[in-house]
Amino acid sequence: MKNNSFFVFQRNFLLLYFQKITIMHINKFAKLFFCFVFLPAVLQAQTERHRAVFAAMNDELHRNIDSLYIRNFERPFFIQYAMQTGQLFQVQATMGALTGVNEFPTGSVSAQVLVGNYQLANINLLNTDYRSSGGGDTAPIDDKYEEIRRRLWLLTNNSYKSVIEEYSNKMTSIRQLNLPPEVVELPDFTRLPAVTYYGAAKEMTFNRSFWEKIARDCSAVFKNYPEIFSSNVGIEMFSGEILSINSEGTQLAHPVRLIVIAVNAFTKLEDGEEISDRLAYYGRSEADFPSIEELKRDIEAMADNIIAVANAPRMDESYTGPVMIENAALASYLATELLAARTGLVAYRTPVRSGGVERLMEDRMNRRILATDITVKSMPYQQTYNGQLLIGAYEMDAEGVAPDSALMLIENGMLRALMVDRVPTKKIRTPTGNRIYTYQPQGISTRVSPGVLSISTSNGLQRDSLKAILLDAARIEGLDYAYIIRTLPAGRYAALYKISVDDGSEQLVRAGVTSRIDLAKLKRSLGASQERIVVNMIAGGVPVSIICPNMMIVEEVDIERRNLQNTTKLPTVSNPLAKDN
């Protein structure tokens, strides 16, 4: 944990310790000692802007907690306000020419209102995301006290009128439905102690000429590739802060800083297949990115890869068998399954009104869900891995819960824990500190996410050994070949390589569609690489860093031949940039 960020838990130190109050494992002596020692410094970390915005939020919050009430309806027991302001800078370029440059301030404000009480509230009727019990609006960018209060007043009023109706509907459902006792008795919302946190904010300088040059020079690479129909380079920089306060006394300041360079390219083939790829780079300063020359080489490699795929033969038949997944493709498949809201490592509470059959992940606790060599941890405080920035790192979640430094989610294939927010589930009652703000410069939302997800194997292998295992598995199945799914290091297009069982030679093919590789398939992994890579991404709107093996073999994957029968034809006239024009 960095010394320039501070946590204050506004409860007596000794009382917390001796009463053994457990909120996100804060009863651990190390965290309590940290909070106690740094208490004086926190008070100095609050800026004039913090005081002005928090004053408006606090005054309006207490006014509504005390006065907001409609006769014969429930009063609010919990209100939370959040306000984000910042500076957004965007550059777009195509074929060496700037197509858009924007720089402007942004502001957003949100309000969440809960009525009833912690045991029985308006939430968990149709969905279990309590953040839906509220609304949002734009915010004044100059932090005027009166205007902040006015907008919060209207948002709170509208939210209250909506949630009292939800509460009434929920009570009707409880009276009418045959609900088991454990559903009725399960608390709706977890009470937390008051917390004050001010994240270490750093100024971000918008060097306009520097980023415009990158956009121009990088987009100009595609002038040499007339086979590519369209391309662009987009750069977005956002520097801001989210201030939040709630009726429990919690007061938080989360800095938000992110720079994204995205390179997109698309082409279309005569048989109608469309091929596209995207390179994405993330950082918080100029120093976090490759040089212009390195970026240009990556773009050339992407363009060459698209053309190679375009010239490759079509997949000749559907396939079911072992597949080796490499690079960012593996990180993407793992993130899709492990971070899924209901079927991944996020605890899910069944709403009061729910139908059908649901298989909850928490029912599989202490059972095997992945291969026995795979371990998965949430590592939110880890800032870098092998010198590479991890954009998902954070210190305090949006609910004021400090996460554990390492949350063991899967240990040697066995499910050990799930991530959960303030909505308790049947088996998990304590928040894990994983409710994180999404990257949304013009809005405020949150999602349960690990921030940094570390995936490792206890039996890491080299590439040659993995390739031999892949070919042996295909041979046992009576197959003449197997497949490798591979992306460029920073790319997203999952290219298919057909690998011969006889001699190990690889052939690039196209027009294949890979089926979902779910946890049941990942459980049947035949091996993973010792080498691990970092893939930064925006997953579900949240910055996430995946540290995972560079390669993994899955025993059985379905790859279908793409149907191109109803695709559209090429333009009648060829690209004007083609050499023959």
Output the domain CATH number for residue 192. Answer: 3.30.2290
> In terms of domains, do 103 and 227 share one?
yes
> In terms of domains, do 480 and 414 share one?
yes
Q: What is the pLDDT of residue 7?
A: 39
> In terms of domains, do 385 and 250 share one?
no
pLDDT by 10s per residue, the chain, length 581: 444 443 333 333 323 333 333 333 333 333 433 333 333 334 335 778 889 999 999 999 999 999 999 999 999 999 999 999 999 999 999 999 999 999 999 999 999 999 999 999 999 988 766 666 668 889 998 889 999 999 999 999 999 999 999 999 999 999 998 888 888 899 999 999 999 999 987 777 789 999 999 999 999 999 999 999 999 999 999 999 999 999 999 999 999 999 999 999 999 999 999 999 999 999 999 999 999 999 999 999 999 999 999 999 999 999 999 999 999 999 999 999 999 988 899 999 888 887 655 678 999 999 999 999 999 999 999 999 999 999 999 999 999 999 999 999 999 999 999 999 999 999 999 999 999 999 998 889 999 999 999 999 999 999 999 999 999 999 999 999 999 999 977 678 899 999 999 999 999 999 999 999 999 999 999 999 999 999 999 998 999 999 999 999 999 999 999 988 878 888 888 888 777 66
Which residues neighbour 531 within 8 Å (Cβ) at sequence distance 6 or greater? Answer: 460, 549, 550, 551
336: nearest Cα among 76, 463, 514, 561: 514
Is 16 a member of any domain? Answer: no
Q: Are 325 and 336 in contact (CB under 8 A)?
A: no
> In terms of domains, do 58 and 199 share one?
yes
> In terms of domains, do 186 and 247 share one?
yes
**Residue count (the chain):** 581
> In terms of domains, do 254 and 318 share one?
no
Number of domains in the chain: 2
Q: What is the pLDDT of residue 179?
A: 87
Q: What is the pLDDT of residue 356?
A: 59
Q: Are 228 and 265 in contact (CB under 8 A)?
A: yes
> In terms of domains, do 322 and 215 share one?
no
Which of 230, 264, 298 is the last residue in one of the domains? 264
Q: Are 442 and 256 in contact (CB under 8 A)?
A: no
Q: What burial class does residue 581 get, using C-beta atoms within 10 Å of its C-beta: 0-12 exposed, 13-18 middle, 19+ buried?
A: exposed
131: its two tokens: 């953040």
Is 257 a member of any domain? Answer: yes
Q: Are 236 and 87 in contact (CB under 8 A)?
A: no
Count of alpha carbons within 13 angstroms of residue 188, beta-carbon side? 24
Count of alpha carbons within 13 angstroms of residue 93, beta-carbon side? 24
DSSP result, 19-64: HT--STTTTSHHHHHHHHHTHHHHHHH--HHHHHHHHHHHHHHHHH
Is 574 a member of any domain? Answer: no
Q: List 155's β-bridge partners, or say none.
A: none
Is 485 a member of any domain? Answer: yes
Q: What is the pLDDT of residue 515?
A: 94
> In terms of domains, do 209 and 339 share one?
no
Q: Which amino acid is at 14?
A: L
> In terms of domains, do 324 and 257 share one?
no
Q: Show the domain range for 198.
A: 46-264
> In terms of domains, do 83 and 139 share one?
yes
Is 211 a member of any domain? Answer: yes
Q: How many CB atoms lie within 10 A of CB 172?
A: 11
Which of 247, 264, 281 is the last residue in one of the domains? 264
Q: Are 435 and 422 in contact (CB under 8 A)?
A: yes
Is 301 a member of any domain? Answer: no
Q: Which amino acid is at 406?
A: A
Q: What is the pLDDT of residue 581?
A: 65
> In terms of domains, do 244 and 316 share one?
no
Each residue of 427-457: b (16+ CB within 10 Å) or e?
Answer: ebeebbbbbbbbbbbeebbbbbbbbbbbbbb
Q: What is the pLDDT of residue 567?
A: 84
> In terms of domains, do 438 and 554 share one?
yes
What does pTM read for this prediction? 0.89
The two counts, helices (H) then strands (E), for the chain are: 11, 25
137: nearest Cα among 119, 128, 125, 150: 150
